[in-house]
Amino acid sequence: SKRFNSWKCKRIMSSIIEFAKKTLINNRRSNYTLPTNTKLYPAQWNWDSAFIALGYSNFNLDYSFKEIETLISGQWDDGMIPHILFHIKDLNYTPNYKAWNCGRKISSSGITQPPILASILRIIIERKKFSKEEIKKYQTLILKIKKYLEWFIRYRDPKRTGLISILHPWESGYDNSPLWDKPMSKIKIESKLKYKRKDNKIVEKSQRPLKIDYDRYVTIKNHLRRLNYDPKKLYYKSKFNVVDVGFNSLFLKALKDLDFLLKFIGKSSSSLKKYILLNESKLIKLFNSKKMKFKNKDLKNDTSIEIPSITNFFMLFSDLKNKSVNKNLIKSLKKYCKNENYLFPSINSRHKSFEEKRYWRGPVWINCNWIIYQGLKNKDKSFAEMIRKKTINLVEKKKFREYYSCKSGLGMGAKNFSWSAALYLDFVLNRS
């Protein structure tokens, strides 16, 4: 019967693998993929697309590169790759392309998202064991990513402090995280705001950001628009300017992965290498190993933010050279999730800001699990493997939802969520 059970298990798994592929294909439009097939997100999103491209690489490399190329085709002249590309002029999303009023050939938002794309591209290229000649075929792509990452250094750290800023909570990708509560509380809501939300009609209201959050998101956005999204001005003038540990961790890893790729096309850059060292030394200082606490910096209000968020542990993904910092990060991460049924809550469930069902204020997100897993697998194999298995089990039980409760495993938000399907595939098909 043991043999029968393992046969049954394998069959279930292979049917879910097929379902994951189908989910991605169904969400696919011409050369890019929507985050879900519901009306919630009718456009192309920056980091979603990177995760989706990784998912495709497990069964259709052509789709994978099409996804990446379409995302990069929205790059601005200054180098930024926007957080949303509106390929179709759909008015069903708020704020829609008219409300942003920017982009060049392709309408877009005027802000960006975590540049995980560089790291995803490296993983694909390494896994497929591309030869130097094959990598050269992607030279243009790699150079555009270089321009993107250099944009961050130039415009998001104009004083070369070694840490880059985000200028809107949406840039982090974890929109209504308690990390932003303090800086957001300082933002005076514009009078006579006019916008109509649709998200909370599609998904249960109690699982989405509050009205006051949206009022502030739109207020910040309108202000950026009034500044014509001029990157030289935004850093100094935005109503929101935060150095986030998670974002800087993803950025540092992106720089390292870009540096790796540049070698193959003979375009190594010494100024990039220098920034990597600076960024790493400054990032480490945001983690207090003794107290096991992280510090985000609210530059706008000259104060710090200390919230136990899973995104702080993205530092593990950066592959820091300092072994004792890594050891302490792992120790704190184990403490962070001890007693939890499902990993990882986006906010420590013992913290006062934790909300079991509200979006980025507590629920489990598959992309966070994947990022942490990637960071752990070369540092603590058994812990990493435990996360891989738990994530696979949760997704197999509840399918490809947008997020899940860490208490009950309840699946929430959108159904047929692309990155949950893509990263499930990646977890199942790439055991390291």
In the complex, minimum distance from the CB of residue 105 to ligand GLC, in angstroms, rounded to a whole number: 22
Kindly determine how many residues on this chain lie close enough to bind ligand GLC according to the rule CB under 6 A: 7
In the complex, minimum distance from the CB of residue 359 to ligand GLC, in angstroms, rounded to a whole number: 7
Distance between CA atoms of 202 and 180, rounded to whole angstroms?
A: 24
Which of 20, 35, 122, 422 is close enough to bind ligand GLC by CB under 6 A?
Answer: 35
In the complex, minimum distance from the CB of residue 217 to ligand GLC, in angstroms, rounded to a whole number: 10
Distance between CA atoms of 385 and 237, rounded to whole angstroms?
A: 45
Sketch the per residue contact string, 164 through 183, with ligand GLC: x for CB under 6 A, - otherwise: ---------x-x--------
67 near ligand GLC (CB under 6 A): no
Locus of tokens 């190993």:
289
Q: What is the largest CA-CA distance in the chain?
A: 68
Residues 6+ away with beta carbon under 8 Å from 240: 166, 167, 168, 169, 180, 183, 184, 187, 220, 300
Residues 273-312 that bind ligand GLC (CB under 6 A): none
Q: Which two tokens stand for residue 377?
A: 């697998």
Residues 45-64 that bind ligand GLC (CB under 6 A): 45, 47-48
Q: Mind telling me the catalytic residues?
A: 175, 402
Q: Segment contacting ligand GLC (CB under 6 A): 42-50, 90-98, 212-220, 259-267?
A: 42-50
In the complex, minimum distance from the CB of residue 425 to ligand GLC, in angstroms, rounded to a whole number: 17
Count Cβ neighbours within 10 Å for each residue of 381-416 and write b for 16 or more, e otherwise.
eebbeebbebbbebbeebbbbbbbbbbeebbbbbbb
Distance between CA atoms of 397 and 16, rounded to whole angstroms?
A: 10
Nearer to ligand GLC, 45 or 97 (CB): 45
- Comparing CA positions, the residue from 30, 29, 94, 42 lying closest to residue 414 is 42
345 near ligand GLC (CB under 6 A): no
Distance between CA atoms of 259 and 79, rounded to whole angstroms?
A: 17
In the complex, minimum distance from the CB of residue 45 to ligand GLC, in angstroms, rounded to a whole number: 4
Nearer to ligand GLC, 26 or 322 (CB): 26
Q: Segment contacting ligand GLC (CB under 6 A): 41-49, 52-60, 217-225, 320-328?
A: 41-49
- Contact indicator for 86, 98 with CB cutoff of 8 Å: no
Nearer to ligand GLC, 146 or 398 (CB): 398
Residues that bind ligand GLC (CB under 6 A): 35, 41, 45, 47-48, 173, 175
